[in-house]
Amino acid sequence: MRTIQSFVSKYRGRFAPSPTGSLHFGSLVAAVASYLDAKSNYGEWLVRIEDLDSQRQIPGAADQILYTLEQFGMEWDGEVIFQSRRLELYQAALDILTKKNLIYPCKCSRKEIADSSIVGLNGPIYPGTCRNKSIKANINHALRIRTDNNLIAFCDKLRGNYTQRLQRDVGDFVVRRADGMYAYQLAVVVDDADQGITHVVRGMDLLDSTPRQIYLQQLLGYITPEYMHLPVVTNQQGEKLSKQTGAKPIKLSNALKQLLCALEFLGQESPPDMIEADLSYFWQWACKHWRADKIFS
């Protein structure tokens, strides 16, 4: 089994797209912000493809995302990792949690949960139906982790203090799904620790997942990175841009123009003399002038 390496306190950021389609403007914003925050702190920027959910994936999307990043001049450090090739790491983490007696099988259907629970921050709060039943674990059962009501608090770089009590606000959550796949919450925590990520910059839609991730980090003995959750790009109907809401893929032509739009969305100044500029000038300038505190202003 691989061990989690301990890294010196250097900045190490990451961009972790799911290959459910091509990059759209919303994912470009997350890529640009995580890249600039890392590079302006003389840090490294890693890319991880979060391809655990085979049903939501589009064949070829991962390659296309990587190609787009390259064409836009975003160079990543080290090897790109693919979650689908790291299942033994997630199982090892699950084994640790199981040994701590924190994992239990759950055979509730989505409908049963929806019917018997109140809606919390992130969908229905699991009412704990299977928590104290001694169900024999079966491959077709989801696995949940027991939560408690201790306060989980962290300071988001843009949003300030954010707290949750997991049992009250979210409920025991799934760490391995009924189809056998490891849940995003578990995989992301294992990977951030294994890759030595010190700073996570991502969309605000994941803010309410962060306490679940901190809870898992604490149980697994991992360090909690710094978090910065970015404003989410929405369409005219106010929906988050995504494949489901019909977001258009970004075009490979005219990278500079789209990068300038991303910079503007992030509240940053634009380079004054862009007419003759190329990508390398853009990145140098944007890196030098990156001010995370301007994102919401």
Contact yes or no for 157/228 (Cβ under 8 A): yes
Nearer to ligand GLU by Cβ, of 228 and 259: the residue is 228
Least distance from C-beta 14 to ligand GLU, angstroms?
Answer: 7
Nearer to ligand GLU by Cβ, of 16 and 106: the residue is 16
Nearer to ligand GLU by Cβ, of 17 and 105: the residue is 17
Distance CA 213, CA 183 (A): 11
The helix/strand/coil state of 13 is strand
Least distance from C-beta 276 to ligand GLU, angstroms?
Answer: 35
Residues paired with residue 82 on neighbouring β-strands, in sequence order: 49
Largest CA distance in the chain: 69
Distance CA 40, CA 65 (A): 23
Nearer to ligand GLU by Cβ, of 103 and 200: the residue is 200
Least distance from C-beta 211 to ligand GLU, angstroms?
Answer: 13
Least distance from C-beta 240 to ligand GLU, angstroms?
Answer: 10
Distance CA 92, CA 94 (A): 5
Phi, psi angles (nearest 5°) of residue 21: 170, -175
Least distance from C-beta 269 to ligand GLU, angstroms?
Answer: 26
Residues paired with residue 154 on neighbouring β-strands, in sequence order: 162
The residues of the shown chain that bind ligand GLU, judged by CB under 6 A, are 16-18, 50, 188, 202, 206
Nearer to ligand GLU by Cβ, of 17 and 271: the residue is 17
